[in-house]
């Protein structure tokens, strides 16, 4: 077994505390507050989140995607619908999002079910993207096997000539919105006695519970 001294790596967390009496009653407000903190702290890519999915084969998959919108409707990201994540979400809409901001010693876990984002709104977002990103979306048959990098580069060049500056939204590209039924906010603390508050959706409200670290 390769060790590389990983077992010796330790870091003590001495930062902000997270108490029930100070936490927002609505988890979306708590999320908004922590996102604001992450932006002010200049955390690298504060909207980067790990998306966990699991299809019919019951083998979980994870990857990092970017949060583009959030609000009462849920948390929205965009992708290729024919990608592995797209296929798995079609098979099983249950998913999880995870944010990790090491500079603040914070994590957020959000669980729920996904639905397809509104197509017109998704197309509007697509048209706002940089030109190369729009062509890239057409170029990549995401998660499919590719013979070589040259195949991708040649395909990109062909599509540049085809579309010019007028790139339409691909029919296989769009957004998903995860509607949360559970949030967990994790704040690193000393002696590994971290703060963990979980919000669970009730009929039309949220309950807050503390979990052991």
Q: Which residues pair with 196 in a beta bridge?
A: 186
Contact 98, 107 (CB under 8 A): yes
Contact 182, 201 (CB under 8 A): yes
Give per-residue pLDDT as tens, 97-137: 999 999 999 999 999 999 999 999 999 999 999 999 999 99
CA 116/CA 102 separation, integer angstroms: 31
Name the residues annotated as catalytic: 192
Q: Which residue has the higher pLDDT, 67 or 146?
A: 67
Give per-residue pLDDT as tens, 6-57: 677 777 776 689 999 999 999 999 999 999 999 999 999 999 999 999 999 9
Tokens 């609000």: give the residue. Answer: 71
> Parallel, antiparallel, or unpaired for β 94-101 and 48-54?
antiparallel
DSSP H or E stretch at residue 149: helix 149-163
CATH number for the domain formed by residue range(s) 11-130+173-210 = 2.30.110.10
pTM listed for this prediction: 0.92
């Amino acid at each position: 077994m390769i060790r590389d001294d990983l077992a010796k790596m330790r870091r003590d967390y001495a930062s902000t505390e997270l108490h029930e009496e100070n936490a927002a009653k609505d988890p979306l407000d708590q999320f908004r507050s922590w996102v604001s903190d992450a932006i002010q702290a200049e955390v690298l890519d504060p909207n980067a989140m790990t998306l966990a999915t699991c299809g019919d084969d019951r083998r979980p998959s994870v990857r990092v995607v970017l949060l583009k919108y959030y609000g009462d409707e849920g948390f929205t990201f965009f992708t290729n619908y024919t990608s592995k994540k797209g296929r798995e979400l079609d098979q099983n809409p249950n998913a999880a999002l995870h944010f990790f901001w090491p500079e603040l010693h914070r994590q957020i876990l959000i669980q729920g079910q996904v639905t397809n984002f509104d197509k017109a709104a998704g197309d509007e977002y697509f048209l706002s993207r940089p030109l190369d990103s729009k062509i890239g979306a057409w170029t990549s048959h995401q998660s499919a096997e590719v013979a070589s990098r040259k195949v991708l580069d040649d395909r990109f060049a062909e599509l540049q000539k085809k579309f010019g500056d007028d790139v339409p939204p691909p029919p296989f590209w769009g957004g998903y919105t995860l509607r949360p039924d559970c949030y967990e906010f994790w704040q690193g603390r000393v002696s590994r006695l971290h703060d963990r508050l979980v919000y669970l959706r009730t009929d039309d409200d949220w309950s807050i519970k503390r979990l052991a670290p």
